[in-house]
Amino acid sequence: MKNRLKVLRAERDWSQAELAGRLDVSRQAVNAIETGKHDPSLPLAFRIARLFGLRIEDIFIDDGDTP
């Protein structure tokens, strides 16, 4: 699953640690999501969407690769 998290974070000039703290996850989790190595749970996806004031589908794009 692709996502726009890195772009959205950069637009706000936030570090990964800043975003991680705002989402109450580890910096490693933010990095894993940004690099597509970890798909967030639905509750975390909603937290991310709320934080950026967007809908989940505006941030995460299903590329049909996820089983």
Q: How many CB atoms lie within 10 A of CB 50?
A: 11
CA angle in degrees (0–180, nearest 5) for 20-40-37: 90
Among 1, 14, 52, 56, binds another protein (CB under 8 A): 14
Nearer to another protein, 37 or 67 (CB): 37
Rule CB under 8 A: is residue 40 a binding residue for another protein? yes
Nearer to another protein, 42 or 63 (CB): 42
CA distance 2 to 36: 6
Nearer to another protein, 32 or 56 (CB): 32
Q: Which residues bind another protein (CB under 8 A)?
A: 14-15, 17-29, 32, 37-38, 40-41, 44
